[in-house]
């Protein structure tokens, strides 16, 4: 990243206001959250809660709802960043990753003169929970995503397949908002969740459809948001994954369980890619005509 940029907003679950600064970090640092001086690396082994959002904990502090910010960083190719937070939850902004994309664009990109680390899926791994499942399979290049959801009407079944590129993320996924159901609200509030959820940061459905006045941003906004969540959760592998991801009725808990299972099975092998903007050695040494 080129420079620091700050965002301010309320958390969707805790409902508290926080200021978040995304700052450049050196090659190999990964994404690290700094909460009141305590550092937590953005890694699946730090996840301590995954119901409706992904929360990281360590050094006596926690940071909730990291997934939309993580998705924007990963999808735009930011491998290293220091995220300073003066609260315990990443601001929800409009419930999508749009504001995080704008902030990263504003900060700019600084290519680092170091090879980029990647995880290649070397063998298939699958985890399941009831009717839901998630899997990673080997693929020649990039990250291919295939996500399917199945809810009661009016959301219903939705499925989307996409190759993750910065362009696809910006155009197809970044604007898709968190969603919820009106009939779940009271139960979630009792559990201390969704306390900051409102129509400005959540797409809310009742039996007939979206209650938000402006309606849907995409006809299949829900599956697009689920895919955004997948990208954010998979970013907790600590480096981009080369492979094919697929899930049916997945969620944060299954995404994190999949990373854990992949690590345990030795299914992810490290690989290094030349840094962006770096001159290939062959070209640099080629004699001029």
Kindly tell me which of 100 and 248 has the beta carbon lying closer to Zn ion.
Answer: 100
Query: Which helix (H) or strand (E) segment is 266 a member of?
Result: none
The closest residue (CB) to Zn ion is: 229
Smallest distance, Zn ion to C-beta of residue 118, A? 25
Smallest distance, Zn ion to C-beta of residue 96, A? 8
DSSP string, 157-179: EEEEEEE--HHHIIIIITTPPPE
Smallest distance, Zn ion to C-beta of residue 68, A? 6
DSSP string, 189-210: HHTT-STT--TTT-EEE-SSSB
- The total of other beta-carbon atoms located within 10 Å of residue 283's CB is 7
User: Which listed residue (13, 68, 225, 252) is catalytic?
Assistant: 252
Q: For residue 34, what are the CA distances in angstroms to 38, 50, 249?
A: 5, 20, 33
Q: For residue 219, what are the CA distances in angstroms to 104, 232, 268?
A: 27, 22, 35
Give CA–CA dist 172/224, Å, rounded: 7
Kindly tell me which of 88 and 229 has the beta carbon lying closer to Zn ion.
Answer: 229
Give CA–CA dist 23/104, Å, rounded: 10
Would you call 252 a catalytic residue per the annotation? yes
Smallest distance, Zn ion to C-beta of residue 284, A? 43
Smallest distance, Zn ion to C-beta of residue 101, A? 14
The residues binding Zn ion (CB under 5 A) are 178, 229
Q: For residue 262, with 0-12 CB atoms within 10 Å meaning exposed, 13-18 middle and 19 or more buried, which class applies? A: buried
Kindly tell me which of 80 and 178 has the beta carbon lying closer to Zn ion.
Answer: 178
User: Which residue has 């903007």 as its token pair?
Assistant: 277
Kindly tell me which of 5 and 176 has the beta carbon lying closer to Zn ion.
Answer: 176
Kindly tell me which of 64 and 80 has the beta carbon lying closer to Zn ion.
Answer: 64
Give CA–CA dist 187/193, Å, rounded: 9
* Residue positions annotated with a catalytic role: 252
């Amino acid at each position: 990243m080129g420079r620091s940029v700050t965002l301010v907003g309320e958390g969707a679950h805790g409902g508290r206001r926080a200021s978040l600064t995304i700052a450049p970090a050196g090659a190999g640092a990964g994404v690290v959250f700094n909460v009141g001086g305590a550092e937590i690396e953005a890694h699946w082994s730090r996840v301590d809660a995954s119901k409706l959002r992904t929360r990281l904990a360590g050094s006596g502090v926690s940071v909730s709802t990291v997934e939309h910010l993580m998705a924007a960083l990963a999808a735009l190719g930011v491998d290293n960043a220091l995220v300073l937070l003066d609260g315990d939850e990443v601001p929800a902004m409009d419930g999508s990753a749009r504001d995080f994309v704008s902030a990263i664009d504003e900060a700019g990109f600084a290519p680092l003169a170091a090879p980029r680390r990647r995880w290649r899926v070397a063998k298939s791994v699958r985890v399941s929970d009831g009717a839901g499942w998630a899997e990673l399979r080997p693929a020649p290049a990039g990250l291919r995503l295939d996500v399917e959801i199945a809810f009661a009407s009016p959301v219903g079944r939705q499925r989307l397949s996409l190759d993750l590129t910065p362009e696809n993320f910006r155009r197809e996924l970044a604007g898709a908002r968190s969603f919820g159901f009106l009939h779940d609200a009271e139960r979630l509030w009792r559990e201390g969740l969704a306390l900051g959820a409102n129509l400005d940061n959540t797409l809310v459905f009742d039996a007939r459809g979206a209650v938000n006045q402006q309606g849907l941003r995409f006809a299949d906004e829900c599956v697009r948001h689920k895919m955004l969540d997948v990208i954010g959760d998979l970013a907790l592998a600590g480096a981009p994954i080369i492979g094919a991801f697929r899930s049916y009725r997945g969620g944060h808990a299954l995404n994190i369980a999949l990373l854990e299972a992949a690590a345990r099975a030795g299914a992810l092998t490290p690989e290094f890619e030349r840094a962006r903007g770096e001159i290939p050695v062959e070209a640099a040494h080629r004699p001029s005509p």
